[in-house]
Amino acid sequence: MAKLTILEFPDPRLRRRATDVESVDDTLRQLIDDMFETMYDAPGIGLAATQVDVHRRLLVADVSSEKDDPWALINPVILERDGVEVTEEGCLSVPGFYEEVERSGHIQVRFLDREGAEVEAEFTGLLAVCVQHEIDHLDGKLFVDYLSEAKRQRIRRRLVKDQRQRQHDAAAAL
């Protein structure tokens, strides 16, 4: 098990579109385990492979408070969606910022599970929101893209400033 590094907005690698996973094997399962560890540690409720600089269509999620409802979705496709759910979303790639985003409240999704079996499942509420948020990542999209331009630019400036500060601190520590 290993904790992975999460890319932070406005890193251009977050804008790459992920390609389908071709084979579900032990290497992929190791990546899934590492992604869960990274997500739980952050702490977050969902993580897309794009966020750890792996550009394959894979996401993990667990919205339970007991960390006992893990989902790993490989090559997920949304088949149907309806309803409206507004959630104050945050993102491990946009640390510290939380804004309301409107998404579908109910989705039907087809994906491969960690054994490579095809599954169709329905998600509602927070889990539905989370899966949509993560699929956006696989398409190179972030929740800040739903906000006003002014808000997005403000978040961008603040994060860039933080990142510079951290680099400066790291350099000073050497």
Q: Which of 129, 138, 144, 152 binds another protein (CB under 8 A)?
A: 129
Report the amino acid identity of residue 167. Q
Q: Among residues 99, 120, 134, 149, which one is catalytic?
A: 134
CA-CA-CA-CA torsion for 138, 26, 112, 89, nearest 10 degrees? -40
Nearer to another protein, 116 or 125 (CB): 125
Q: Which of 72, 76, 89, 128 binds another protein (CB under 8 A)?
A: 89
Per rule CB under 8 A, count of chain residues that contact another protein: 25
User: Measured from the CB of residue 98, what is the shortest distance to another protein in angstroms?
Assistant: 6
140 makes contact with another protein (CB under 8 A): no
Quick one: how far is CA 26 from the chain centroid?
Answer: 22
Side-chain-side CA neighbours of 152 within 13 Å: the count stands at 11
Q: Of 93, 79, 80, 77, nearest to 20 (Cα)?
A: 77
Supply φ then ψ for residue 28, to 5 degrees: -65, -40
Q: Which residues bind another protein (CB under 8 A)?
A: 42-47, 61, 87-92, 95-96, 98, 126, 129-130, 133-134, 143, 158, 162, 165
Active site residues: 134
